[in-house]
Each structure stands twice: as C-alpha cells, then as structure tokens.
Amino acid sequence: MTLKLNVFKPRSYIRIVKVMIVICVAVTVAYSFFNALKKRSEDKQKELDNYAEKIQLEKVKIQQARENPLGLSNNEGYKVDITKIDWHDWEFIAKEQKRTGPGEQGKTVSLSSDEKSLSQKSYDSNGFSGFVSDKIDLDRAVKDIRHPLCHGQQYVADLPGASIIIPYFNEHWTTLMRTVHSVVNRSPPELIVEIILVDDASTKEHCKEPVVEDYLKKQFPRVSTNVIHLEGREGLIGARLAGARAAKGQVLLFLDSHTEANINWLPPLLEPIAINPKTAVCPFIDVIAHDTFEYRAQDEGARGAFDWEMYYKRLPLLPKDLENPTKPFDNPVMAGGLFAISAAFFWELGGYDKGLQIWGGEQYELSFKIWQCGGRLVDAPCSRVGHVYRKFAPFSFGGSLGKNYKRVAVVWMDEYAEYIYKRKPSYRHIDPGDISEQTALRNKLQCKPFKWFMENVAFDLPKKYPPVEPPNFGDGFIKSLMDSNMCADATDTAFTKRLGVGQCSNSRTQKFKLSWHKDIRYSETSCFDVSLGGNEAPINFYQCHGGQGNQLWRYEKDNQQLRHVNSNRCLDINTTDKKLYASSCQLSKLSQKWEIQHLDENAMETWETV
Ligand SMILES: [Mn+2]
C-alpha cells in the first residue's frame, strides 16, 4: 500500500519530469543528428549526380569533337586541329576521391615505434622508406593540387601519342610499379603508345626478367609494355637513350622510376608539342616525402637555371608567367628527369651526347641544345608529377660529372665556359674527349651562340648568379669593441644553430664573410639569420639563400655597427650567456660595436649598387 503511494510522492514526480526532459533532449539531438547525416548523404549524392551529368556532357562533346574536327590551323607548317576538349576522366576522378587507406589522397603515413625500426632498414638500400611505400596501395589517389583554373582547361583533341620511358636501377618494387600504375590510371589510354621500362643492369631479383614483364602483362593487358634489360650498367643517360631508340611514339616522355603522375597530367605535356613540335615540355615536379610518402607541392613554379659551378638552380617566375597560371612558360633549363619531347626533334638534336657518361650535365646539354638550335623549353603548370626525393643516394654515380660538364661547356657555352673554369679551375684541364660529332651537329643545325641564350632566355640569371662575382665587403673575424678578446664564434651551433661569441683565437670557426649577397656567411652555406622580433632576438645559422630578407646585414663603418636591415636592429652580445642577438640600435652601446678583420673599402663604396 505504502509502496503504491510512493509513486505519487512529489519527489518521484520531479524525477519522472527530469527523465522525460532528458529523453526529450536526447530525441531532439538524435533527430537533428540523423537529419544532418541525411543531408550529408543527400549532398554527396547530389555531387555524384552532378559528376555523372558532367561526364555525360563531356563524353558527348569529346565524341563530337573527334567526329568533326573543326578549325584547322596552319602553325609553323604543321596542320593542327585546334578543336579543344576536356580530357579529364571525371568518372575516374570521382572514384579516386572516395579511396581511403594508408597514404590515400597523398596523405602522410605514420608508423608505430616498432614499424619505425623496420622502416629504417629499408632506408639504407633506397634512400627512402620502402617500408612506407609498401604499406600504400599501388593505385593510391593523390591530392589534386593543381591551380584551380587547371580544372577547366581544355586541350586540343588531336594530341600525339607518347612512349613513356622509365629507366630504373635497383628501384624498389612498389615505387617502380606505383609509377606505372599512376601513369596508366591517370592517362587517356589512346595517348599512351607504350610504356618502356629500361633496367640499367639492376642486381635486385625483382628488377630482372621475367618478374617485371610478367607483372606488367598480367596487370595491364590492354597497355603495350616493353622492358629492356641492359647487359651492363650504362647509367641514366645510356638507359634513357636505349629507351628512346626502342620507342615508337611520336612523343618521348621520360619519367623517373619513383614518381606518381597526378590528375590529367598528360594532355598539358603533349599540347605544346602538338602545336609546335620543336617544343620540349616539363611538368611541375611535386614532392613525395622520403619518410612519410606525403604528396605535396614543392612551390608554385620556378624557372630552371644554373650557377657557374654548374649546380642546378631556380629563378623566380617572370611577371608575365604569373599573369596566366595555367599557361606554359619558358624555362631556361629543365630539372632533368621528367620531360616530354617529340621523338623527331630529339633525334634531330642527336639525342643526348653519347660522350656524356652515367649521370649529370645531360639536362644542361639538352636544354641548351633545344634553345640554341631553334626549339623551346616550357614548363606546363597544369601537369604535375610527384617525385620521391631521396634522403641520400644509395649507390654511386661514378666520377663522370667533371668530364660531362666540360663537354657541355666546350660544345655549347662558348666564351661563358671561362666563368666555369674560374670557379672550378680543375675543369680547365679535364680532357672532354672527342667532341667532333657535337660541334658538327651545332654547325649543321646552325645553332645560336650561348650569348643569345644568356641574353634572351636566361637574361635574369646573371643578376642572381653573376658570372664574375663582385668582391665581398669584408671577411675574417668579427671582434667586439666591448671586449677585444671576444669574437663571433660558430663553435657551439650544432644543435641550437644559435650563434655566440668566444675567446678570439684566429680559428676557422671565427672566420666569416660579409658577402656581396649582403649576408654574413660561414663556410658559404650557413648565414646569420634573424627570424624573431623583440629586443633580444637570437641569431641563428640558416642555409644561405642569397635572397636578403632575414639574412640582410649592413656594416656601418662609421659607428661600427652591424645592422640587420629589415628589422632595423643591431648585432649585440648577451654578456651572461655569451650569445649573439639583435636588439634596437644604440650608438652608445659598446656591446653593439664590432671590428671586421678585413674590410674592402672599395667594395663598401658600392654597397648601394651591388
Ligand atoms: Mn629521382
């Protein structure tokens, strides 16, 4: 009896109300959650419907364009059908966007600590983590990081077919095969004449016959594949030539053996060649991280160049290149491994100089030849290919570099070769071997002088990489006037990269340069760099970039201060921890006054004009 009554006690009543409120709230939350989910799946469906609609429209357009080639134009003697179509395979693109799994969509692969040690082992033979690569599907999707305007770009319907040539030496299986998979997946099949793999006498079993052939035949029965196994090691140049000799396509397209072609990469490489067969075209090269295989942009484009020690360098895009971010722009020098060229033009140029050995300098030889002998080299921003940049080279390339550069310099660079000998005196005495075939070719094709190339194509190179380097403003020690036993010192910079002062000792760690780049250098690679604000900003070593900014310093002779120009602060000493820092300039502060061992008075006069 009492029990029954209890139910109606006011306390219980409140409890019931509370429970009901909780239920109400839960139902409301669940309902709106359900609604949101429903909306999301409806949106997704709408998106897919849009895709389907777009695909249908595009297919009809492509069909019409192929059946009825309109607008023939006569360009440099070649009949080119200038009807343009959208070459995107939207159906496949939509499918790829749904892929999930390790490394999919170009995302980072993270490893557990146990896996990390396994990964380390596969580093040694590759220079990248083969272990991480093995975790990723060979058909993985990568991020579409092209400029958004590339999505709407159309290319001529009548494109020439390409032979894709991929030389390899002991390449890791999954990186090699992912190269092939990405090419097949993301290229219109009718544009691939064949895929040629050239095995440069690899020693790893999976690189040999018939492992590679069997896999390719089974995996890609509808694609023409060809594997050439060279008898002895010929190097990259020899392997590319072997592939080119076997190629049947109108266009030769060279790739590295650890690359991934991005969405719609092929038409933008082929169109400039269709319009003018004397054009060679490079894609933008993206970075596939050697440890995580993350796919990311290197930058948004630059023009290839070199310094006078023949190191590959890059120049900024020109204002006119930036105006239209989808349009191919002139590129003085290709990076090397990834480019397309018409087979006819390649052989007209004699292919690569056969006297070049193994690796190195061939990108200069071909680039100079293309430009000087009436062709054009461009970068196509809407074509992107990822490349695994190794952490280190796991095998030796041999000592052919000097001789290769010498051949290129002697044959193509005319009086400019002298600048290289000035930097690399040993090159002057290297025997280039027989160059008669190359000079005969240059005469036959009536190629232009190197001066023409420098003045018309690489015209902004000398500003950044002057053939004759201006003198440095000073060098030697940087001694404090507050305490003449204290000199700027690079000894303890290994971990923090932070610079300090030490007892003046005339040691190598106290020799600096006030270089003509207007930075303060230590052994040509490390520069005084200030990246923080505030009144006690540390001075760190950072890779010299020669681009001023955080590394721009000016020595003010009269008041003996070293001014960090952009932040308008002066080099100073923290007397407690003996570290250098940048602080607001005060003429009375002795800790901001410095003596430079050798100051070049004449060079100092030219500061404003260099
Ligand atoms: Mn490579």
Cα(503) to centroid(ligand 1), Å: 46
Q: Which pLDDT score, from 0 to 100, does residue 49 have?
A: 65
> Quick one: tokens of 193?
């004449």
* pLDDT (0 to 100) of residue 9: 60
Cα of 387 vs centre of ligand 1, distance in Å, is: 6
Residue 123 pLDDT: 87
Dist. CA 254 → ligand 1 center (Å): 12
DSSP assigned state of 593: B
Structure confidence at residue 60 (pLDDT): 66
Beta 251-254 vs 225-229: how paired, if at all? unpaired
| 3-state SS assignment for residue 358 | strand
Enumerate residue ranges in the chain where pLDDT < 50: 1-3, 5, 66-79
Q: How far is the CA of 30 from the centre of ligand 1 (A)?
A: 53
Q: Are 420 and 401 in contact (CB under 8 A)?
A: no
The CA 14 to ligand 1 mean position distance, Å, reads 73
Structure tokens at 342: 């018409």
Amino acid occupying residue 586: Q
> How much is the pTM?
0.77
Instruction: State the fold for domain 474-605.
Output: Trefoil (Acidic Fibroblast Growth Factor, subunit A) (2.80.10)
Domain ranges of the chain: 90-396, 474-605
**How far apart are the CA of 389 and the centre of ligand 1, in A?**
6
Q: How far is the CA of 291 from the centre of ligand 1 (A)?
A: 15
Report how far residue 329's alpha carbon sits from residue 378's, in angstroms, rounded to the nearest whole number: 5
Cα 425 to middle of ligand 1, angstroms: 30
Superfamily of domain 90-396: Spore Coat Polysaccharide Biosynthesis Protein SpsA; Chain A (3.90.550.10)
Long-range contacts of 293-299, Cβ-Cβ distance < 8 Å, separation of 24 or more = 293/103, 293/108, 293/109, 293/129, 293/132, 293/133, 293/136, 293/388, 294/106, 294/107, 294/108, 294/109, 295/106, 295/142, 295/143, 295/145, 295/260, 295/386, 296/106, 296/143, 296/145, 297/145
How wide is the angle at C-alpha 520 spanned by C-alphas 516 and 525, nearest 5°?
Answer: 90
pLDDT computed for residue 523 by the predictor: 85
d(CA 134, ligand 1 centre) in Å:
18
Q: 388 CA to middle of ligand 1, Å?
A: 6
Note whether 361 and 401 are within 8 A (CB): yes
DSSP characters over 29-90:
HHHHHHHHHHHHHHHHHHHHHHHHHHHHHHHHHHHHHHHS---EEEETTEEEE--EE----H
| Centroid of ligand 1 to alpha carbon of 398 (angstroms) | 17
pLDDT of residue 48: 62
Q: How far, in Å, from the CA of 416 to the mean position of ligand 1?
A: 29
Name the nearest CA neighbour of 512 among 555, 469, 549. 555
Instruction: Report the separation in Å between the CA atom of 75 and the middle of ligand 1, taken as the mean of its atom positions.
Output: 35
- Please give the C-alpha separations between residue 343 and each of 267, 336, 348, 379, in angstroms, as whole numbers: 17, 17, 8, 18
Give a three-class secondary structure readout of 149-182. HHHHCCEECCCCCEEEEEEECCCCHHHHHHHHHH
First to last CA, the chain: 105
β-pair partners for 168:
199
Q: How far does the centroid of ligand 1 lie from the alpha carbon of residue 505, in Å?
A: 44
What DSSP designation does 564 have? E
pLDDT value at residue 98:
96
SS3 527: strand
- Ligand 1 mean position, distance from CA 111 (Å): 24
Separation of CA 126 and ligand 1 centre (Å): 11
- d(CA 286, ligand 1 centre) in Å: 12
Q: What SS3 class is residue 528?
A: strand
Which position has the token pair 């500061």? 607
Lookup result for tokens 């991280």: 289
Alpha carbons 524 and 515: distance in angstroms, whole number: 9
CA of 310 to the centre of ligand 1 (A): 19
Q: Work out the burial of residue 88: count CB atoms within 10 Å of its CB; fewer than 13 is exposed, 13-18 middle, 19 or more buried.
A: buried
Task: Rounding to the nearest 10 degrees, give the CA dihedral for residues 576, 581, 586, 590.
Answer: 50
Q: How far is the CA of 168 from the centre of ligand 1 (A)?
A: 10
Amino acid at site 262? N
- Cβ atoms of 541 and 490 closer than 8 Å: yes
Q: How far is the CA of 469 from the centre of ligand 1 (A)?
A: 32
Residue 397 has what pLDDT? 59
For residue 187, the CA-to-ligand 1 centroid distance in Å is: 21
Please count the residues of the chain: 610
How many Å lie between the centroid of ligand 1 and the Cα of residue 550?
32
Beta strands per DSSP E along 267-317: 279-288, 295-296, 303-306, 312-315
Interval between CA 255 and ligand 1 midpoint (Å): 9
With beta carbons less than 8 A apart as the criterion, state whether 550 and 566 touch: yes
Token code pair at residue 332: 């003085």
